[in-house]
Each structure stands twice: as structure tokens, then as C-alpha cells.
Amino acid sequence: MIKRQFGSASTFGCYDSAIAKCLGVMFRDYSVEGGIMSLLSIAPDVVSAASGNLANVGSALRSATAAAAGQTTAIAAPAADEVSAAVTALFGMRGQEFQALSAKAAAFHDEFVNLLNGGAAQYVSAEVANARQTVMNAVNTTGAGAAAASPAQTFSQNFGPLQVVISGGAGGVAESVILNGPLGQVGSLSLSGIPFAAPGGSGIGLAVNGTGSVNTPLGPLTWLSATGSEYAGPSGFGATLGGLTPVGYQAISVTGNALGQITGGSFTTFGLQFFFQGTQFGIIPQFGNLPPLIF
């Protein structure tokens, strides 16, 4: 029987206690008993909070190092003799070495914090992607027989105040994001889609309908009623969603490559379309004959 154990975080220094907290979260419920390993359990929000604590520690260390720089690298000689000059040069050299070492430690610290943040984000993305794949497996076939063979699949997960629910069966897929507050549900965004296969087998996609609402003292207020699509194939992926809202037409789109990297996108609001493609960014007015602004 093998189990992981951590000592009390209070026995570590400020820096080590934050790392211990991260590791304690990342490997929580990890054990091997009788040759059977339990599932790995990760709380992305706690990992992100711990990485934020580490970032604060790094800022404090850099501030302390900068404050000590002048006193450790610019030491005045106590006298004008050769011995005093040699001692001053020695201490100054050691001070410069300390500053160089501190800079390397700060760079390592920043990279470690970035890795923690990236790991938490990748875990959330992988979890949602796995849920989508599970749902798409259920909707990949059609017909009554397929529906009986592929019962509805449901995924539900909380990410802080957000609750993400994905469900689907042979007839389609539904996703909803619910924002919860201290007094209950604040608002929600719901998407439903019917699967389709692109011509020539170049990918699969969903024809999407979306609605968004926010709770008010007078009842739910619909702030979005939109249509769009999302697709994925060997060449990449893309998604669009647009519709009328109380403040006019709103739309959003995103495209990406086969590696899962976002390569472009746009957001339309108040008569202006903000877009980016690679390193290019611009604004396209949706009224009159005004020329676009490209940066």
C-alpha cells in the first residue's frame, strides 16, 4: 500500500508553503492500494489562487533585491589605501554576483508561476474538451436505433461562480453556462446545436442556437437571441454566434488551427466590428461608408 503524505504547510517558509499548497491540491486523492490507483483530482481555481500567491511572493523578493542593490554594489571605500580599495572591490563584486543570481532566481520563479497558470488553464480546457468529445460520440450517429444505443450523456462542472453543463444525445447537444451569486443565479447563457457533417468529410459541426438571460427583480430579461455554428476538422476549427440584443446586433467569431491555437476572431457591438488575425488588429464600422482602421 502506497499513499502520499505532506507535512504541515506551516513548517515551510512563505515560498515553500505556497508550493506545498499547489502540490497538495494537484495530487489530492492520489494513492495506490492493492495495485489500483485512484483518479487524479485537481482544483484549477485553487491552483490559480496558489500561483497568484507565488506571484506576490516573487514581487516581494524582487522589491527587496532592488532595495538592497545600491547598498551591496556601490560600497564606498573606508579609506584611500590599497587594502581598503581591494576590500571595497571584493564586496562590490560579491554584490554584483548576488544581483545576477537574484535575477536568475526571479526568472525561474516567473517561469514556474507561468507553468502553474498554464497547467490549470490546460486542465480546464482538456476537461471541457473531453466532455464535448463524449457528447459528440453520442450524437455522431442518427436514427432511432442509434438513439437507443447512445443514451444521453451529461457533464457538469463548477469553475468558481460559473457552472458549465454539457449534455446531448443522438438528436443534438446542449451547453449552458450559469453565473451564480451569493443570492442565487445571476444569469445564464444557453446554446443548443444539431450536428452536421461537412461536405467531403472535411469535418463535423453544429448548427447553433443561443439564448442569454439575466435575472432582475421583475423577472428574467433576455439579452441575447442568436444563431451560429461551430465546426472542427483536420485543418482547424471555428465558431460564430450572432443575434439581436437590447443594445443592437452583437456577434462573436473565432478561428483556430489543427493544433488548437486561436488564430483569429472578431467581436461586433454598437455598430463596430473589432477583429484580429494573427498579429493584425483592426476596427470595421458597420454603418455608413467609413473605412476600416487597421493597426
pLDDT digits (tens, 9 = 90+) for 230-258: 888 888 888 888 888 777 888 889 998 88
- What is the number of structural domains in the chain? 2
Picking from 144, 137, 142, 186, the residue whose alpha carbon sits closest to that of residue 162 is: 186
Shared-domain flag, residues 126 and 193: no
Task: Supply the range of the domain harboring residue 156.
Answer: 141-294
Report phi then psi at 167, rounded to 5: -145, 160
Mark 46-83 as b/e (b = at least 16 C-beta within 10 Å): bbbbbbebbbebbeebbeebeeeeeebbebeeeeeeee
Shared-domain flag, residues 97 and 240: no
Q: How far apart (Å, rounded) are the C-alpha atoms in residues 18 and 281? A: 38
Shared-domain flag, residues 114 and 163: no
Picking from 126, 123, 124, 133, the residue whose alpha carbon sits closest to that of residue 168 is: 133
Query: Which triple of cell numbers denotes residue 139?
Result: 450524437
Query: Which triple of cell numbers denotes residue 174?
Result: 446542449
Residues 115-167 pLDDT 10s: 666 665 566 556 556 655 655 554 454 444 444 445 567 778 887 888 888 87
Shared-domain flag, residues 131 and 151: no
Segment 163-169 long-range contacts (CB within 8 Å, at least 24 positions apart): 164/128, 166/128, 166/131, 166/132, 166/135, 167/135, 168/135, 168/136, 168/138, 168/139, 169/138, 169/139
**Mean pLDDT over residues 43-72, rounded?**
62
| Residue where a domain stops, chosen among 110, 135, 160 | 135
Residues 170-227 pLDDT 10s: 667 788 888 888 888 888 888 888 877 766 666 788 888 888 888 888 888 887 788 9
Report pLDDT for 49.
62
pTM of the model: 0.41
Report pLDDT for 271.
87
Shared-domain flag, residues 103 and 174: no
Report pLDDT for 111.
67
Average pLDDT in the chain = 69
Shared-domain flag, residues 271 and 206: yes
Report pLDDT for 146.
43
Residues 58-99 pLDDT 10s: 676 667 666 666 655 555 666 667 766 676 666 667 666 666
Helix 44-73 to helix 82-139 angle (10° resolution) is: 170
Q: Which residues pair with 168 in a beta bridge?
A: 153, 173
Residue written as grid cell 482547424: 236
Provide the CATH number for the domain around residue 54: 1.10.287.850
